[in-house]
Structure formats: structure tokens, C-alpha cells
Amino acid sequence: MRRIKTGSLRIMHSAKFIEVLRSFSPQEFKTFGVFLNSPYFNTEKLPVKLYDMLKRHYPEFASKSLSKENVFTKLYPGKPYNDKLMRNIASDMLRLAESFITAESSRKEELKSKILLMNEFSRRKLISLFERNVEKAESILSQTQTEDIDFYKNRLEIERSKKQHEIIHKDIYINPKNREQEVSDQVTAISLLEMIYCNLKLTSIEKKFDFDYKLNFEDEIDQFLSSSGSRFLENVYIKCLYYNFKLLRTQQEKYYFLLRDFIQSDFERLPREIRRDTYISLANYCYVRITKGDDEYIRESFMNNREMIKNDLFTTAAGNIPNVFFMNVVTTGLECGEQEWVEKFISEDGHRLKDDSREDTLNFCLANLHYYKCDYGTAFTFLSKITTDDMTYKHNVRSLTLKLYFDTNEIEPFLSHIDSYRHFIAGNKLVFDKIKDSLNNYISFSKRIFCIKNKIGKFDEDDLPKLNREISECTPLINRPWLLRKIDELTEKTGKNP
């Protein structure tokens, strides 16, 4: 919504209908003028006259000529200013604008209009017109690209209308076509969708904020879908939401692979936001498994990211790529040895990052890429260009800086950076304790390996086998594959078998 600049005149600041008019697109504003000139919708001349005054000032309506006094003089020539009359015309314009929005919304909802027509023709006993609109409504429904909750609600409305029509006009209470079963199934499907979706959202909030919700009908839904209601899992929307819920709720691997298999089949029939959320569910599960030491899920995570990119499910409504997602794609790709693919991704899709974070995101990703290429000087150069205070970047920059000092074997900078990193984590109240543990474990193991490498302190090569086991079993821990690679590199030099 546009804001009027300070100093704009009173009518612009106070009239609610002006706020509504500002929200209109150019085409909508033009159509609103046609609406006002239609005697069916408006029989008064003043709204038309006011619209004609306003249209040359669309969309800001900030001209000095639109003061209350000037507008009143043109609407009521020769009359002294009357604020009550001005409030009345403003109220009329708001009412008409609301009616216009309602009419436009109805016009755009072709299927709902057909259902309304069906019901009206049935009520008026216009049987052939009722039947023709039933065919049109069912045809529109069959051509629906995505099967969202409205799809099933519309299907139910059509079935109920047909059922009611048969009762009233044909005296048929029990249909041999078994329409009662169809209606019952639609009610059940909608109820399942609503309940599973609600439980999925509640569980998601529980995981993020440690809340404790009561999930209604959780056990009953499980029992129903595993027995007499198993046929409802043939519904792609129910199946998708249910598997998402069970994966988040139970963290069982079988639901991860059930979802992975599912997205290879009827996935395109679902709404975009549901498909995107499904990939996010898979990504979150991969993250949990990676932090537990299941490194095979790094490639799983990368493949999920690639599919999101291929299906254009990673962009925001504004068409931007979230910076955290972009960095995650780069990091998992590099861990999987996909340097060529990552370099192409940075080059071709970097322009789609948000303007305010693009440079910092690209600088970090390019630093990461050059680190994996062992081009440490260039990696340091790109890191030095990052200026943001965003915590996401600060953690990533510090982690990558640690790796660079380690591989370049800069002893004093490395040890100094380790201490600085620890203080940074300890003083950051925005980081959850579990994440702090993961970061501190990473720092501790890095230091121990570095000290063995440089024969600093009490650690020596004989500690490598034990250290390897500790890293493999430690939870939570970030950068486990990198730590184990450093152990392997040191083992090759020392001949100590971990």
C-alpha cells in the first residue's frame, strides 16, 4: 500500500475509500469507472463526478486540488462547505468500491459462479439450464491444474447441489449411482485435509518454539488411514500432507523415502506452496540426519535442492532466491564434489538474490568455492568483501575462516581465531543451546586436529584413532565430513591408522 507523503491534504489522509482506490491496478481503476457509470450498480451522479475528478490523480491522489474544500466546491457548486456531506460521499464511495471488489472477485471465480447458477436454476425449476451448468461446472473442475482444498470443497458443493436437485425435482432420495457415498467421501476427504494440515502446522510450531499443543484426532487419523480409510491415501493431497506430518512428527526414515518417492509421480497436481513445503520438510530431515553423523544425507540434501531449482520452487513471491537457501545449495554441492555445477549455479542464478544481500551472499559463496579449489588467497579476498552484520553470514564467515587458517597452517591467526570464535558464540543470545553445542564441538575438534598437525601441546599422532571415533560419534556437530577429511589427511602423513 502506498503511503501519502507528510503534508498531503486532509481528504487524502482521512478517506478510507482513497486507500482502497490506491490498491487498484490501472485496469481495475479503469473498470471501476465503468462500474460507477452502470445504473445497475450506481444510480447517483455524485460518485461518477468525484471519480472523474480523481482519475487524473491516480494512483497517489496527492494533488493540492483534492483538498476537502476544493472537492466540495466542484461537487456542490454555490453551497457553503459542509463536512457531513463530505463524509457521506466518502462513505458512498467506500461502499461502491467494496461492491466493485466483490463483483470482480465473483466474476473471476468462474466455477463458483457456475455453482451459484446451478442452485438458482434448480430453485427456479429450469431443469435443462441446471443440467447444462452442472456439465460446465464439472468440466471446469476437471481442468483444474492443482488439487488444493478448494478443489475438494467445490467438488462437494457440486455433488450436494445435484443431490438436492434430485430430492426436490425428481423425488429421488436414494440414488442408484451411489451419490450418497460420493458426498460422504468428499466430506471425509475435506475433514482429513483440514485436520492433517492443522496438525502439521502445530507440530512445525512446536519444533521451532518448544510449545506443547494437543493434536486433535492424531491417533484416530492414523488408525483410519491404516485400515478402512486406506483408500483416501490415493488422494494425492491427503497423501502428501499426511507423509509430511508423519515425517515431522516421528522423524522416521520410512516417511522420508515415502515422500521422496511420492514427489516423482503426481506431485505437479498439488499447489506450489505445498510442493515447496514438502521439499523444505525433506531438507529439514536431511539436516537432522547430517548433524547426527549420517553423511550420506548430504547428497540427499543436495539432490533435493537441485530438484527445487529445476522445478522453480525456491523463489519467493517477488521472484528472489532466499540467501540462506542459496548458500546451502552452494555448500552441499561443494561437499558432494559438484564444483562445476555449483560454479554454474552461482554464475547463472546469483542475479536473482535480493538486492540488499546479493553482494554479501555472492562473496561468501565465491569464497567457499575457491576454498574447495584450494585457491586460498582468492577465498580470503572474497571473505574480506563481506560487510553485513547478519548473524547467518557471521557464523558462515567465521567457520570458513577457520578452515582457511587451518589449511594454510597459519598457527597464530588460527589459534587467535579459535578464541574469538568461542567468545562470539558464548555472547550470542540469539543462538539456541543445541546449535551452540554443535559449533563448540566443531571448534574443539578443529583445534585438537590442528594441534596434532603442528605438535602443539599434549596432543600427538597416537590420538588420531580415538579422535576419529569421537568425531564420528559426536552429536550435535557441524562440518563432520570436513573434520574427518582432515583426520584422513593427517593419517596419510603420519601412517597412523584411525
- What is the pTM (predicted TM-score) of this model? 0.75
- The C-alpha cell that represents 449 in the structure block: 586436529
At residue 62, the pLDDT reads 83
Long-range CB contacts for residues 120-124, cutoff 8 Å, separation at least 24 = 122/161, 122/164, 122/165, 122/168, 122/169
pLDDT per residue, tens digit, the chain (498 aa), is 444 343 334 545 558 999 999 999 999 999 999 999 999 999 999 999 999 999 999 988 888 888 888 999 999 999 999 989 999 999 999 999 999 999 998 888 889 999 999 999 999 999 999 999 999 999 999 988 777 788 889 999 998 898 888 888 877 665 656 567 888 888 999 999 999 999 999 999 988 777 889 999 999 999 999 999 999 999 999 999 999 999 999 999 999 999 999 998 878 888 888 999 999 999 999 988 987 878 899 999 999 999 999 999 988 888 899 999 999 999 999 999 999 999 999 999 999 999 989 999 999 999 999 999 999 999 999 999 999 988 889 999 999 999 999 999 999 999 999 999 999 999 888 777 888 999 999 999 999 999 999 999 887 788 899 999 999 999 888 899 999 999 999 998 876 555
Question: First vs last Cα of the chain: how many Å apart?
Answer: 63
The candidate with the shortest Cα–Cα distance to 33, out of 60, 12, 54, is 54
Beta strands in 251-373 (DSSP E): none
CA 439, CA 286: separation in Å to the nearest integer? 18
At residue 8, the pLDDT reads 37
The candidate with the shortest Cα–Cα distance to 22, out of 68, 67, 64, 55, is 55
Q: In the chain, where are the structural domains located?
A: 10-108, 110-177, 389-498
For residue 219, the Cα-to-chain-centroid distance in whole angstroms is 28
Q: Tell me if residue 266 falls in helix, strand or coil.
A: coil
Q: Where does residue 102 rank: exposed (0-12), middle (13-18), buried (19+ CB within 10 A)?
A: exposed
At residue 169, the pLDDT reads 82
With contact defined as beta carbons under 8 Å apart, do 452 and 489 qualify? no
For residues 286, 292, 298 and 303, what is the CA-based torsion angle, rounded to 10 degrees? -20
Q: Is 210 left (phi over 0), alpha (psi -120 to 50) or beta?
A: left
Distances from the Cα of 274 to the Cα of 148, 149, 242, 390, angstroms:
9, 11, 12, 29
Distances from the Cα of 254 to the Cα of 189, 234, 273, 415, angstroms:
24, 18, 23, 44
Give me the helix-helix angle, 236-250 and 253-262, nearest 10°: 150
The candidate with the shortest Cα–Cα distance to 308, out of 276, 353, 284, 270, is 276
Angle at 326 between CA 240 and CA 433, to 5 degrees: 80
With contact defined as beta carbons under 8 Å apart, do 199 and 208 qualify? no
